[in-house]
Structure 1
Amino acid sequence: MFDIGFQELLLIGIMSLLIMGPERLPGAIRTSSLWIARLRRSFQQIKSEIEREVGADEIRQQIRNESIMKDLENTKNAIQEQIQMVSDEIPSQFENLPYDSNSSDTNAAPEPESSISQEADDTNVIAPESKP
């Protein structure tokens, strides 16, 4: 943030040691660190209040939802392109197949047996009448 290197920190430490002396330097460091912590806390509170007032969470959520919808749209378009490419290839694949008119009748699937006759047998059974 401030782009302070090790040499600058060492120089500041030596200068503060010479100016304040070894007796008052630990107290000054402690006091300055307390003030810095209080400033950070107050800035964080102000930032959170401003974000709450502006509705930053809702804005972030809306931006996230828009990015998800954009990704879904891109995926949908890619899938549709693949489907179109495959559907374009299917007719060309069938053109290359040999066609035999006799084999189409022999390869036909047999029709399933009708269960109507069995149902008719079940309905002809007469239940004995019960006498009171």
Structure 2
Amino acid sequence: MFDIGFWELMLIGLVALVVVGPERLPKLAYTAGKWLGKGRSMLNAVKSEIDKEIKAEELKEILEKQKKQLNPLQDVIEETASGMRELKEEVGSSMREGEKRFGSENESYTRFGDTAEVTSKQSNDNKRSG
């Protein structure tokens, strides 16, 4: 972190010895080491938090890319679903028109949910003649 050589450390130690004195120098060195350790641990904690944030941003970008790739597939699914709904409505309206046109006297209907199976005497007659 700092570019301090051996001679610079010796000069700092000598000045500290003269200013603080030999009795309090070990306690000062202990306190300085303690604070330096706390500073390093805080610095490492900040670095790890920054790394986590960077990784989270990268994951968000990857997720956005995947969403963009899935978007055309979602469009195809929606188009297919709307086509199926239109087909369902068309079949239902055709069934209602047929029921109105031919009446229910020649046909029997069995309904299952939204679908209808039609069995009629006419279709049986067509199978026999065909």
Identify the structure with the greater strand proportion: 2
TM-score bracket, normalised by the shorter chain, equals 0.3 to 0.5
**TM-score, normalising length: structure 2:** 0.41
TM-score, with length taken from structure 1: 0.40
